[in-house]
Structure 1
Amino acid sequence: MERYVGLDVSLKLTSICIVDRTGKIEREGVVTSDPEAIATFIKLHTSHVVRIGLETGATSTWLWTELNKIGLPVICIDARHAKAVLKMQINKSDRNDAAGIARIMQCGWYKEVCVKDLDSHATKALLVSRALLVKIKRDIENQIRGLPKNLGLVIGRAKINMFAVRAAQLAEDRPLHAVCLREDHERLL
């Protein structure tokens, strides 16, 4: 007999609901949000799983990837679409959301989301991190440029490695101002 599973995932715990082809709840439970724990619960309590549904979220890519590796028929559905369906429930809880997602899987009324692989996410994380570091470096350089202007010291336009050299040159003969420039320069490094 066909079974459908709904997962309501949070960072620590995942509520699981298993329904039959008529939508009747057969089993419910809560496990840690770990692919192995989820797979163990599902395999222990049911067979003939047609679809397993989970909403898009912070850990959905990881869970989707790992559950697919285990061989489970997992589908990631659009969270906004699921929310529109789940908000019709009287009592909003993780348990009821898992049951609602299981019934969405059972009736086939969902919008499947294409899940990018982990390499794509790693590349994006690297690019976002680099962009943040470039922004921080630019902000610190601008701060270092702005502080000594009140004292009549202008660093001016300086290319990549010349910025630190120019700041050090301005600070050489002015020990009082050098403290400000050196501390900012050390933060830049």
Structure 2
Amino acid sequence: MSTYVGLDVSQKETEICVVDVEGRRIWRGKCRTEPNSIAVALREHAGGAVRIGMETGPLSIWLWRELRALGLKVDCIHARRVAAALSLQVNKTDANDAHGIAQVVRSGWYRAVAVKSLASCRIRAILTARGQLVSIRTTLSNQIRGLLKTFGVVLAPGKGGTFDKMVLSRCPEDALVRSAIEALLCAWRVAGERQRALDAQLIRIARASEVCHRMTSVPGVGAITALTFATTIDDPKRFGRSTDVGAYLGLTPRRYQSGEVDIAGRISKSGDRAARSLLFEAANTLLTRAKKDSDLRQWGLALMIRIGAKKAKVAVARKLAVILHCIWTDGTAFEGAR
């Protein structure tokens, strides 16, 4: 008998619901959130499962990979789509959520999320750690500046060694205040050391990658941006057109159309935030600090005059995403320099 399964995953237990082709519930239960435990339960109660669905979450990549290795046809469904489908439920429980996911899977009214490869996840772990260290360092430096202002010390703009020397030279002589500032400054230094170590590791990985090496031929695109883009896309073949990459990364405008109303809004900002942010920074570098001129830069500068700097940088970021995907799939390098 053909069945459809919904999994509502939590850290300790996973709620399971099995329905038939007409949506009638056949079995409902729970097990530990471990691939083997879930596989045993599914083989016992849903041996003829046509599709198995679960929503995206912290454990979904691991569970998807392990359950697929055990021969189970598992699909990951975007959490926003699941939330929209479950929004009409009167009572929100794990059991009801699993039943709702099973009905979504049975209807087929969803698009399975592409799960990243293990190689991409390993590099993303380093990129994520680096991003956290950058954020921690920024927070600590702002905290130091804020504390010093309490005692009338306003530091001039500066970073790295300049910031370190300014803090030490202008910190009040009060022992309590100095101990607090030195504790924060020590943490700031350690975060910087660990960030630089990860930067060096990421640069080595990018240099060893032929694809990333070609991507860095684009003005404004460095090793971190190339690696972030490559691990976000993971498989370039899943995009039929390079122009679809811009929409995937949330760099295209939202649209609301109903009857005679047709409104183009701000960019959707869907997809990976880190990749979108780094592409915007690359666009800013290309337009404001690039030493070599190119057709892409001239196009962006013309846009800045016509629609403003911020919108022009978003447009260039979207164009960069398309170019990077073309470089990846065509096996070419950037040739737009004048």
Same fold, judged at TM 0.5 (above):
yes
The one-letter code matched in structure 1 to 2:47 is: S
Counting only pairs closer than 5 Å after superposition, residues 1-189 of structure 1 correspond to structure 2 as 1-141=1-141, 147=148, 160=160, 164=164, 170=169, 180=178, 182-189=182-189
Q: 1:161 to 1:42 in 2, by over 3 A?
A: same
Q: Distance in 2 between matches of 1:135 and 1:119?
A: 25
How much has 1:108 moved relative to structure 2? 1.6
**Residues 51-71 of structure 1: CA deviation (Å, up to 9, x unaligned):** 101112222122111111111
Structure 1 unaligned spans of 5+: none
Q: Is the CA contact 2:5–2:46 (under 8 Å) kept in the aligned structure 1?
A: no
How much has 1:167 moved relative to structure 2? 6.0
How much has 1:50 moved relative to structure 2? 1.1
Which residue of structure 1 lines up, in the alignment, with residue 277 of structure 2? none
Q: Distance in 2 between matches of 1:119 and 1:14?
A: 27
Q: 1:135 to 1:69 in 2, by over 3 A?
A: same
Q: Distance in 1 between matches of 2:105 and 2:69?
A: 20
Q: 1:14 to 1:159 in 2, by over 3 A?
A: closer
Q: Is the CA contact 2:54–2:75 (under 8 Å) kept in the aligned structure 1?
A: yes
Q: Which has the higher contact order (CA 8 A, sep 6+)?
A: 1
Q: Distance in 2 between matches of 1:10 and 1:65?
A: 17
Q: Distance in 2 between matches of 1:143 and 1:86?
A: 42
Q: Distance in 2 between matches of 1:97 and 1:67?
A: 20
Match of 1:92, SS state, is coil
Q: Is 50-59 or 138-147 further displaced after alignment?
A: 138-147
How much has 1:128 moved relative to structure 2? 2.6
The structure with the larger Rg is: 1
Q: 1:84 to 1:155 in 2, by over 3 A?
A: closer
Q: Is the CA contact 1:62–1:118 (under 8 Å) kept in the aligned structure 2?
A: no
Q: Distance in 2 between matches of 1:142 and 1:23?
A: 56
TM-score (normalizing by structure 1) = 0.76
Q: Is the CA contact 1:81–1:111 (under 8 Å) kept in the aligned structure 2?
A: no
Q: Is 155-164 or 136-145 further displaced after alignment?
A: 155-164
Q: Is 82-91 or 51-60 further displaced after alignment?
A: 82-91
Q: 1:53 to 1:144 in 2, by over 3 A?
A: closer
The one-letter code matched in structure 1 to 2:96 is: N
Once superposed, what is the RMSD of the aligned Cα atoms? Answer: 3.3
Q: Distance in 2 between matches of 1:3 and 1:12?
A: 25
How much has 1:131 moved relative to structure 2? 2.4
Match of 2:128, SS state, is helix
Q: Is the CA contact 1:3–1:49 (under 8 Å) kept in the aligned structure 2?
A: yes
Q: Percent identity?
A: 42
Q: Is 4-13 or 109-118 further displaced after alignment?
A: 109-118
Q: Distance in 1 between matches of 2:95 and 2:173?
A: 66
**Residues 130-176 of structure 1: CA deviation (Å, up to 9, x unaligned):** 1222333344456557739x688x987877557656766x48xx975
Q: 1:50 to 1:133 in 2, by over 3 A?
A: same
Q: Distance in 2 between matches of 1:185 and 1:75?
A: 47
Equivalenced residue count is 186
**Residues 86-126 of structure 1: CA deviation (Å, up to 9, x unaligned):** 23334332212212222222222222211223443342332
Q: Is the CA contact 1:57–1:79 (under 8 Å) kept in the aligned structure 2?
A: yes
